[in-house]
Amino acid sequence: MSGATEVADIAGVAAAIGDPSRARMLLALAGGSALPASALAAEAGVSASTISGHLSRLLAAKLLTVERDGRHRYYRLATPEVATALEWLSRIAQPLPVRSLRQSTRAAALLRARFCYDHLAGRLGVAVMAALLHREVLAAEPADSDDVMRYLVTPAGQVELAGFGVDLSSLARRRPTVRYCLDWAEQRPHLAGPLGGELAARLFELDWIRRGHSRRVVHVTDNGEAGLRDTFGITADWAA
């Protein structure tokens, strides 16, 4: 009917996410990387013969995209908003029981520092956000909702970030530069949006952070600890 308002198919997306195996696949991709079906099958704990059905369901729901490299296919989250949705769902979900030392170690590492699509999350991500606000690189102001803030890069912050090697000219073409993203574990915002992605990329360039063996986990190098402290005033308290 002309002029009718479209209603979002929340039930359809929820059903696609709601299978435990598919949820594990999405979380494995929440760090922004692209993975082959074999790796996703291992993450989900399903056989190679059943992974195609799960992938088809997630592709149909537009939660994943597929990239082809010759004969190989790699899957990634369709948009950053999918990762954000997973973060918000994690806020209301009950924690899964930890059944092994390996699971416990991985869970603790994810809480300390992890990737949420292309930006840092966990206690490290929250510490970075807090430091930028404290140094007035960012300024906060109320958004449309009382419990959501909007973050803007200050003029002084533009100078500081440019000096650190973050390309603000490319960010100027993307709005908003900083996106609100509440960390599900810390219940405080971490730095998301284009600026969060560019800053994380710069930390990789400097070898201040490295990816861990477990997907999404981030480790801070010795140089990174010193650099974060000297540049942004971020002490290692976040890792405690």
Residue 158 has pLDDT above 80, yes or no: yes
Q: What is the mean pLDDT of the chain?
A: 88
State both tokens at 109.
Answer: 């590492």
Confidence of residue 183 (pLDDT cuts 50, 70, 90): confident
Q: Where are the alpha helices (DSSP H) in the chain?
A: 10-18, 20-29, 37-44, 48-60, 80-92, 101-112, 122-134, 155-164, 168-171, 193-205, 222-232
Peptide bond into 176 cis (omega under 30): yes
Q: Greater confidence, 111 or 146?
A: 111
- With a pLDDT cut of 90, the percent of the chain lying above it is 52
Residue 165 has pLDDT above 80, yes or no: yes
- C-alpha dist (Å) from residue 40 to 79, 112, 149, 211: 18, 24, 35, 18
- C-alpha dist (Å) from residue 238 to 122, 196, 206, 220: 9, 18, 20, 11
Residue 174 has pLDDT above 90, yes or no: no
Q: Greater confidence, 141 or 240?
A: 141
Contact 33, 215 (CB under 8 A): yes
Q: Domain extents for the chain?
A: 10-78, 109-239
Q: Give residue 1's pLDDT.
A: 47
- Give 18-57 pLDDT, tens digit per residue: 999 999 999 989 888 899 999 999 888 899 889 999 999 9
Q: Give just the sign of the alpha carbon dihedral 150, 132, 79, 17.
A: negative
Task: Report d(CA 50, CA 44) in Å as an integer.
Answer: 11
Confidence of residue 146 (pLDDT cuts 50, 70, 90): low
Confidence of residue 102 (pLDDT cuts 50, 70, 90): confident
Protein fold of 10-78: Arc Repressor Mutant, subunit A (1.10.10)
Confidence of residue 62 (pLDDT cuts 50, 70, 90): very high
Amino acid, single-letter form, for residue 65: T
Contact 229, 235 (CB under 8 A): yes
State both tokens at 77.
Answer: 């989250």
**What average pLDDT does the segment 196-222 reach?**
92
Confidence of residue 3 (pLDDT cuts 50, 70, 90): low
Q: Give residue 182's pLDDT.
A: 84
User: Using the 8-state DSSP alphabet, how is residue 19 labeled?
Assistant: S
DSSP for 150-177, written as a single string: EEEE-HHHHHHHHHHT--HHHHTTSS-S
Residue 2 has pLDDT above 60, yes or no: no
Confidence of residue 113 (pLDDT cuts 50, 70, 90): very high
Q: Give residue 145's pLDDT.
A: 59
Question: Whats the size of the chain, residue-wise?
Answer: 240
User: What is the enclosing helix (H) or strand (E) of 146?
Assistant: none
Task: Report d(CA 3, CA 93) in Å as an integer.
Answer: 37
Task: Report d(CA 84, CA 77) in Å as an integer.
Answer: 11
Place of tokens 């190989």: 72
State both tokens at 7.
Answer: 């209603």
- With a pLDDT cut of 70, the percent of the chain lying above it is 94
